[in-house]
Amino acid sequence: MAQKRRSRLLGGALIDPRPVNGKMTAADLVDASFLAYNGRRLREACRLFAEKMLEPDVVVGMSITGALTPAGLGMSCLIPLIENGFVDWVVSTGANLYHDTHFGLGLKMYQGTAEADDVALRNEGVVRIYDIFFDYHVLLDTDAFFRQVAANEEFQHPMSTAEFHYRAGRYVAERERILKLKGKSLLACAYRHAVPVYTSSPGDSSIGMNLALLELEGKALRLDPLADVNETASIVYWSKKTGGKSAVFILGGGSPKNFMLQTEPQIQEVMGVSEKGHDYFLQVTDARPDTGGLSGATPSEAVSWGKIDPERLPDSVVCYVDSTVALPIIAAYALARRRRRKPRRLYEKREEMLAIVTDAYNRVKRKRQKAAAARS
């Protein structure tokens, strides 16, 4: 009997994993056992990040949503990624930066339970973030810290959120030094490595609330979100025009996701400067695309906005896994598979990058003016 010819569609790797054992590293476990479904997507995420996004010429931006720093993921994952040069710039919710500061000030957060009686917690002066507990005075002490720091003379002018976080991060880093707590705060780590950290909605957090109080008291500090738009666009344009690539690593979705991705429409649509879109797209999310929300929007949808280079769409992965599960695995995989990259210290290059994108826009503007004059 003639043997049936195997379909060319059956050319993928066999599903034939070796048994899991207690000696495997996290990276080896991912490669050997994450073979299908969301496990395979997580493996694809790990490999995209480690093998392509961490190439020397790729500038990596990370957006952070969800209460990740209260859960300790700033210390366990985000700080090691920054220290190893794996994250070059950040867009975060203000809440993540506020709660991150607790640790840099030596304040405590505890594992609790999501089934707690919240009325009893309130009566005891305990605040809950799902299954994380902390004393109400942690909020009051952190509020006082930001008000005291931001009242200093060096803050009394309009600034981008990156400048605010860099200046505030210096104070958190000094508090860490005094308390011998180095490695606890993401803000302090970003300051030490000159990683620019932006907040897309600066009024939407306890940091913004305390700065608003200083405004009532007559202080001159003003956070300028329009400066953030131009600075973030300049990072992306600079990364492409200096011979590199741009990658986005999105944890969750929400406003930070859009703020990071809108850099390309800002360059192409608003400025009118020729560009194609980000080169690599990696998102970890639990949001569905069919509800129409930004958090679940796919990279292919982002192509229609000019956010993602259509020629690089195969280098896009959406991993439908909780960030608290996926991030430690992706971080462990990258740290095992890639050598440390030299930090780019992009905060120190802000003026240079802004000048490059401004020059590109001015060339477009002059060309438009010349064409308009020729028509008239």
Residues with a known catalytic role: 307
Q: Are strands 110-111 and 132-135 parallel, antiparallel or unpaired?
A: antiparallel
- Which has the closest alpha carbon to 108: 66, 65, 141, 143? 141
> Which two three-digit tokens encode residue 335?
């740290």
Distance CA 88, CA 81 (A): 9
Distance CA 58, CA 74 (A): 23
- Which has the closest alpha carbon to 88: 312, 213, 260? 260
**221 backbone φψ class: left, alpha, beta (φ>0; ψ -120 to 50):** beta
- Which has the closest alpha carbon to 242: 139, 160, 360? 360
Q: CB of 144 within 8 A of CB of 171?
A: no
Calculate the CA 86 to chain-centre distance: 11
Cβ partners under 8 Å of residue 348, min gap 6: 194
Q: CB of 72 within 8 A of CB of 100?
A: no
> Which two three-digit tokens encode residue 297?
């929007």
- Which has the closest alpha carbon to 162: 224, 251, 98, 252? 224
> Which two three-digit tokens encode residue 143?
């509020």
Look-up of token digits 């490595």: 193
Distance CA 147, CA 206 (A): 11
- Which has the closest alpha carbon to 211: 283, 118, 140, 148? 148
